[in-house]
A and B are shown apart, each in its own frame.
Chain A
Amino acid sequence: MTSAPTAVQTPGFWTPLFTAWLVSLLATAGALFLGEVVGMAPCVLCWYQRIAMFPLVLILGLGLLDSDLRSVRYAWPLALAGWALAFYHCLVFWGLVTESLVPCGKGPSCADTDLQVAGLVPIPLLSLVAFTGVLLLLGAAVRRREKA
């Protein structure tokens, strides 16, 4: 890429940051689709993971627009919290944590086998994959900055 004198060259961290943002955008759109269109009411743990996932779209999106790596600093605690919740939710889903410990008083059960997309992939696993991806990509973004 030849850089015109006035144009700012794309920093190395931009691509991983963009990919992390894309993952959070797709996860947010997917969660909203399942909840609002398909009509699967989110359980309590799903809500907590949504709280961690949705803001990533805005924080990382703003970071992308200004090529601002500091957005990673504000995003990673959310991503880590979401990852921990998703990990816990997977344990609940597969029955590795007993039902009595599940903090699901109201709404649908977090251990319900209905929490699957197309009857195949459990939603908590999708969430865990998405948060893992975001964390790894944010890490990659920071490393590329340090190399540069």
Chain B
Amino acid sequence: MSRKWIVLSTIIAVALAFAAGLMVFKNRSGQELAKSVQTHSEALIRPHAAVYGNPAAKVTIVEFLDPACETCRAFYPIVKSIVNQSFGNVRLVVRYAPLHRGSDTAVKILEAVRLQGKYWEAVEKAMAFQPQWASHDSPQPEVIWELIADIGLDMAKAKADASGPAVAQILKQDITDMQTLKVDRTPGFFVNGTPLRDFGAEQLKSLVAQELSKVGAPAQP
């Protein structure tokens, strides 16, 4: 056997072993995740969580969101359009997975704003201007206050609420549920309790379509 052939076949063998290990591991961790969601289904949706879209929708996307996460920012318009184009069949439930530094403060601000009914305006602003406040080295979530200064809030009340116990309790519960459901990357999606295993926008859309057909709703255009 020629020496080059030995080198080449060794590379192929190691690559194949790697791919096999990858498949075994993904399969196993996917099963574990599905199992933990089944046993802890109460951790998926809590009454306090923000809902976008028809509250009585048959299909629910639960998104574990980190306001400082770039991929969450990229997914924001995608998820919104899935809900908007669903004729009321899909709703979004927002849970938090504050995995970045400063994210907890951002979550507290957003939740304080929600008490005044301006939640989605604030989320839009925080996402749109995320590069300004969510640098991973030196995050400045306080900048969000300036971004939302013009959406018509009682700022004094919002700032008091942001450091109040009610908002802190929501954050604490979401972090607990995030750990229970083993969400370690954001955004973490669950559609009617099924975790999005293979991550991507198209995969999310097809998982939603699959759940829509299960409940007998017309598929989206």
Contacts and interface: CB of A to CB of B under 8 A. Distances in A.
Interface of A: 10, 14, 18, 21-22, 25-26, 29, 32-33, 37-39, 61, 64-65, 67
Contacts of B11: 25, 61
B21 A33 contact: yes
B10 A22 contact: yes
A65 B4 contact: yes
Given A38-B25, A67-B3, A33 B10 contact: no
A68 B17 CA distance: 28
B18 A10 contact: no
A28 to B, nearest CB: 9
Interface of B: 3-4, 6-7, 10-11, 14, 17-18, 21-22, 25-26, 184
24 contacts: A10-B3, A14-B3, A18-B3, A18-B7, A21-B7, A22-B10, A25-B10, A25-B11, A26-B14, A29-B14, A29-B17, A29-B18, A32-B18, A33-B21, A33-B22, A37-B21, A37-B26, A38-B25, A61-B7, A61-B11, A64-B3, A64-B7, A65-B3, A65-B4
B101 to A, nearest CB: 10
Majority DSSP secondary structure for residues of A touching B: helix
B208 to A, nearest CB: 26
Given A14-B3, A18-B3, A39-B184, 18 more contacts: A21-B7, A22-B10, A25-B11, A25-B14, A29-B17, A29-B18, A32-B18, A33-B18, A33-B21, A33-B22, A37-B26, A38-B25, A61-B7, A64-B3, A64-B7, A65-B4, A65-B7, A67-B3
